Amino acid sequence: MDYSQFLFMPQEIGLLFVFLLVFIYDTFMPARMGKHLPMFATILTALYTVYAFFPCPDSWGMAFGGMFESNPATWVMKNILNVGVVIVMLQSIKWTNDDFVSVRRGEFYELILLTLFGMFLMISARHFLLFVIGLETASLPIAALAAFEKRYYESHEAAAKYVFTAVFSSAIFMLGISFVYGMSGSLYFQEIGSQIVGVKSPLLILAVAFVIAGVGYKLSLVPFHQWTADVYQGAPTAVTSYLSVISKGAAAFAFMVILVQVFGAVYSQVWQWMLYAIIILTITIGNLFAMRQRNLKRFLAYSSISQAGYIMLGVIAASQVGMTSMIYYVLVYIFSNLAAFGVIAVIERATGRVTMDDYNGLFKTNPWLAFTMMLAMFSLGGIPPFAGFFSKFFIFVGACHTGSVAIYVLVFIALVNTIISLYYYLLVVKAMFIRQDECVIPYIDSHWTEEIALTVCVMGIIAVGVASGIYTFLNQVTETITPMFNMVG
Amino acid sequence: MPLSYTIAVIAIPLLMFFFLGLAGVKMDKKLTGVLGVIGMLITTVIAYGVALTYFFGSDQGQVADGVRQAVVVFNPDWLSFTKTLVVRMGIMLDPIAAMMLIVITTVSLMVHLYSLGYMCDHHGHAEKGFQRYYAFLALFTFSMLGLVVATNLFQIFIFFEMVGLSSYLLIGFYYQSPAAVHASKKAFIVTRLADLFFLLGIMILSYYTGTFDFDQLVFGPNGANSLEVAQSAIATGGGATFLGCSVMAWALTFIFIGGAGKSAMYPLHIWLPDAMEGPTPVSALIHAATMVVAGVFLVARLFPLYVIEQGAMEIICVVGAFTAFYAAAIACVQSDIKRALAFSTVSQIAFMMTSLAVSSADGGLIEIHGGHGLGFMASMFHLFTHAMFKALLFLCAGAIIHAVHSNENSKMHGLHKYMPITSIAFLIGCLAIAGIPPFAGFWSKDEILVACYAKGTGWGIWMSMVAGMTAFYMFRIYFLIFHWKKHEVHTEHAPSDQPWTMTLPLIILATISIVAGFVPAHDLVTWDGKELHTQLNWTVAGSSVLIACIGIGLAFKMYYKENELPDKLQARFSGLWEAAYRRFYMDELYQFITHKVIFQGICKPIAKFDRGIIDGFFNLLASVTGSAAYGIRRLQNGSIQSYVYVYLVGALALAVITMVCVLI
């Protein structure tokens, strides 16, 4: 075996290294040092994130017989996820040192790092076996994370629901892959892609549907979404925020790679229309359900379903511009959603209150938290000049680049849904700024790590949209993988 | 000084805004004001350095072959719509931008300093919202500076909106006063309406030319305004027409309407007099010197395009000439000192607009190639001098209002004895605006009149007449405030001159108003970057001074000493007087149109439609959704089996429907 192939995966190796250090710390350090573990893991991950920003020379290419690919686009996607994970870790330091959770705090960080490793494999995999390994690595530990708050019944329920539905969806996904294998005799993305050119069989269509269902589960696209609300509500908030942004971002990127590389040949005939229907359903149903929610975590669960529909607008474009806008959307979404979850986590940790009515008059007592939440809601709703506006704008433009009338209609539907979504995002703002309550949440002295995390998010929300260089940079990055889209037909 | 320092000129006010806006709340009020002044002082120093380097240096590519070029400091892509149509955010210096840097920073610094004294009560305590005031001033300064250095139309539009916003915030600064709230809303709505046209114009223009950038629209290869480039930009429209006019003429007219909204041209002027509800220093900065000339600046920026599209230019010319007279007529009878000054501002801006518009016509295209374009230079020159003396007049008015607590000149009379410095400064301002040599206004107004006479004797006579009215109404105000009769002291404090923070800006601006006329504008601020050789036209200069003296003499006769003449005249021409005093009923007309016609006739039926049918539809939708959601909730109530069931049915349905569509 040629060990130099490992040089193609500097980010993965770095991540494993961080994981091992955290693991060793957790296992061998005396118990009194345990309270420093969260800080240790977070700083280490932050350092690693900075390191990962500098690509090793000549680290682009295929490794392990073409199973693993490293290119500028995967590199940038992994970096974005790294940033998100650091923010999630910062937000959970205080929480993992709580009395009830502290016994297991090591597991929290180890599992987060391990699932992230799985997602990296998903992003870089160019072979279905490696992809499935990545998918499962990124999937099963989440159940353990969801069950983290052992003392709460909802936490167990969330974990059980997650694990059962995840196993089922994996089964469907692999059934789909087995069909593909039966038709093409290969599990390599590119080989399958060239084998199915011109093929028009029911089996292929079924395979595409099952693959979409399998990955769509991770993205919580309608109708594969039903686990989302229960799991988001039941899981600890730190886990929910991790699940809603990091996991979703990785899956979206991998989804696009599979659809374009494997099924690119049947784009216009098959999966464009499947995705078309799914996007409309996802955005609309996510929106309609979000309107009725009073529990903020459940509310954000449905909002994130609807947001996933917008992310899919980049996928349905099946072009380099679409991919740029999708990555950009994920980046912005990470900042906006983590800001929202960050505020919820702080308030939940301090007071245990998570419904919208609890937030009445929050601005009076906690102006900064309310301000951050407002920015997050504005950004998620797509109000200029915050980043969310630009990400929506670019994803619409990306979709419109296909030039087909059907896609214009889709974009129009998405636009109308944006207006509907403003209604429920502004409900939260209204509760915080306008409504009054007798038992307002008192002033919360948030921990400095949480403050840093929220500040980073706020700066991201404000700066990412206005700093145009970011989009231009992403565009340059994805231009290096344009050949991938040649198969699309 | 390297021209790239312009970035600091833009960045410092922005940082001041964030700093004062966010951290100011917890700081001592006076300290925020002092910090604001210091920040502005640094900005001003750098802006002067940059502008002077631009005008008098030659080592940074600003002059080539005797032509003063536009220098783009930086210009990154900001938002790309298509590969060719890209919005950029950049900084560009050309003669008018560099001149505007000086104007904006000078007046802004004076206003920052002046407000330290003005925004305090008589015991020297800062008013409520002092920090907010300084934060908004910084925001305004940032927006205005960003506007003038913009490299493309879209950037101008963004900053156009931002100056509108900061103007709105500052007019409504005293948000407890209903009048201020109404005024700020009115200003915002009227200018927004105009900006809608501006946006339309930008869209049309960029659709046909495929660019927002000035260096493709108006600047030639040598970096100065070029008619050839404008010609070819217009030619890309392919001669498309709409309602008998070329689309380019429509686009340029729409853009002018946007500018007319900000520059308060008739009939969009109605917001400006009301905007005087804001603090007086704000009126001096925004509604006299800087923001209101944004429209003039806009037309000047696109000057070569307008020169070629003569149709749009004619509209500007007529609107400008009419507005100049109309506003001057109203200014002659106003009793509120700030309103009178506001109408005077409208009239003077109309002078600038007219001057821009006649310049294209002085002998047609060939003449302009030959190096004319006197009107352009005169307009920009007048913009410069007017900013200085009008800011001076407003700051004097602020000092007077601060002293007597009223805007009405009936409460003022005879203040000369009590406020000698203010009186002299105001007199200097009046002499400057009336066009008496050697004060600043004489030089610039003279050039404008020469340009107007070059277009046609009729235009020249018309504008000379308005210049005479200017002299009359300004000295009417002056005599009524400082003379007329002995001042009656009502309050326990006799009015007196103000603290040094307020006096110093008056003295500086008065000095500038005396000497600004000797700035060699015809060498520096010309439309094509070349030096313009002009001589004083003795006929026009002599006659305009004569007319101004007649105006002043008339004002002296009527208003210097208390007498019956004004009342007699008022009784004699009561109809005309009443009409002018009520601003020729334009506000009532707007009220009628908006409330009676639009609200009653259009909005009410639409509202009914909205409440009944649209709301009904959505209520129906909501209740349907509600019950549907309730139904699905039962499915979702904890049962994993049903989740999996929906999942499987969904996946199979997706496959089956696609199969049916694709294979059959």
Q: How far is A297 from chain B (nearest CA, A)?
A: 17
Residue B366: pLDDT band with limits 50, 70, 90: very low
Look at B89 and A468 and tell me if their CB atoms are within 8 Å: yes
Task: Confirm or reject contact between B81 and chain A (CB < 8 A).
Answer: yes
Residue of A nearest to B659 (CA): A202
- Residue pair A228/B649 in contact (Cβ under 8 Å)? The answer is no
Q: A382-408 b/e with 16+ CB inside 10 Å = b?
A: bbeebbbbbbbbbbbbbbbbbeeeebe
Check CB contact under 8 Å for A205 and B662.
yes
**Domain boundaries, position A252:** 3-487
pTM of the model: 0.77
pLDDT at B628: 66
- Chain A residue numbers with beta carbons less than 8 Å from the beta carbon of B658 are 205, 208-209, 270, 273-274
- Determine, for residues A164 and B650 on separate chains, whether the beta-carbon distance falls below 8 Å: no
Could you read off the pLDDT of A372-394 as tens digits, one per residue? 999 999 999 988 889 999 999 99
Residue A481 and residue B22: Cα distance in Å, rounded? Answer: 44
Of A165, A200, A393, the CB nearest to B640: A165
For residue B196, count CB atoms less than 10 angstroms from its CB and return exposed for 0-12, middle for 13-18, buried for 19 or more.
middle
Beta bridge partners of B484: B561
Is B489 part of the contact surface with chain A (CB cutoff 8 Å)? no
Residue ranges in chain A whose pLDDT is less than 70: 57
Answer whether A277 sits within 8 Å of B646, measured CB to CB.
no
pLDDT given at position B490: 60
Tens of pLDDT, residues B47-104? 999 888 888 877 777 777 777 888 888 888 777 777 777 888 888 888 889 899 999 9
CA distance B82 to B199: 18
| Phi-psi sector, A300: left (phi>0), alpha (psi -120 to 50), beta | alpha
Q: Is the separation of the CB atoms in A91 and A241 below 8 Å?
A: yes
Please give the share of chain B, as a percent, with pLDDT higher than 70. Answer: 92
User: How many domains does chain A fold into?
Assistant: 1
Per cent of chain B over pLDDT 90 is 14
Tell me whether A172 touches chain B (CB under 8 Å).
yes
pLDDT value, residue B2:
83
The pLDDT value given to residue B370: 39
SS3 B59: coil
The answer, for B25 touching chain A at a CB cutoff of 8 Å, is no
Contacting residues of A for B80, CB less than 8 Å apart: 472
| Three-state secondary structure call for residue A377 | helix
User: Which residues of chain B make contact with A230, given a CB cutoff of 8 A?
Assistant: 636, 638
Min Cα separation B639/chain A (Å): 9
ipTM exceeding the 0.85 mark: yes
- Would you call A213 an interface residue with chain B, using a CB distance cutoff of 8 Å? yes
CA-to-CA separations, A385 to A342, A468, B158, in angstroms, rounded: 22, 12, 11
Cα R_g (chain A), whole angstroms: 21
Q: Does residue B638 surpass a pLDDT of 80?
A: no
Beta bridge partners of residue B408, listed in sequence order: B336
- Which of A175, A210, A226, A472 has the highest number of chain B CBs within 10 A, making it the mutation to test binding with B? A226
Q: What is the amino acid identity at position A356?
A: M
Nearest C-alpha in B relative to A269: B662
Name which of A221, A251, A176, A311 is nearest B650 in CA terms.
A221
The whole-number pLDDT of residue A42 equals: 94
pLDDT value, residue B497 = 67
Out of B78, B628, B642, the one facing A468 most closely (by C-beta) is B78
pLDDT in tens, B245-302: 778 888 889 999 999 988 888 888 888 888 888 888 888 888 888 888 899 999 988 8
How far apart are the C-alpha atoms of B252 and B248, rounded to whole Å?
Answer: 6
More confident residue, B527 or B493: B527
**Taking CB atoms and an 8 Å cutoff, what residues of chain B touch A468?**
76-79, 89
| A117 CA: distance to closest CA in chain B (Å) | 27
What's the average model confidence in pLDDT over B634-650?
79
